[in-house]
Amino acid sequence: MKKAGIIVVSGLILIVAFALLIYPTPYKYFPFSSTGDGYSAVRVNIITGKTEQYMRAHGWVDTTKGVSVEDLNNNASN
């Protein structure tokens, strides 16, 4: 019986830690200065490390794939 209580309390502690530390948002947001367009946002997923940049015309774009703005514009026009 004592072991079951420890498991329940441990589970509750993990749920509370998840709710406070991760659930509000899995992303950290950073301002990013780009040339010519002023500022845009960059977000990093704190769990996976995936980095995305916000572009007004295309939304959130994965920066780890090496996709350029020209590639996005070419794909959007096709």
- Cβ atoms < 10 Å from Cβ of 43: 19
pLDDT digit string (tens) for 33-50? 665 655 678 888 888 888
Is the confidence at residue 65, as pLDDT, over 90? Answer: no
Residues pairing with 34 in the sheet: 38
| Residue owning tokens 């309390």 | 9
Domain assignment present for 52: yes
**What does the CA dihedral 39, 41, 44, 45 come to, rounded to 10 degrees?**
180
* CA distance linking residue 39 with residue 67, whole number of Å: 19
Domain of 31, in residue numbers: 25-65
Predicted confidence (pLDDT) per residue in 7-28, tens digit: 999 999 999 988 888 777 888 8
Domain assignment present for 3: no
Residue 48 forms part of a structural domain: yes
Domain annotation covers residue 18: no
Neighbouring residues of 48: CB distance < 8 A, sequence distance ≥ 6: none
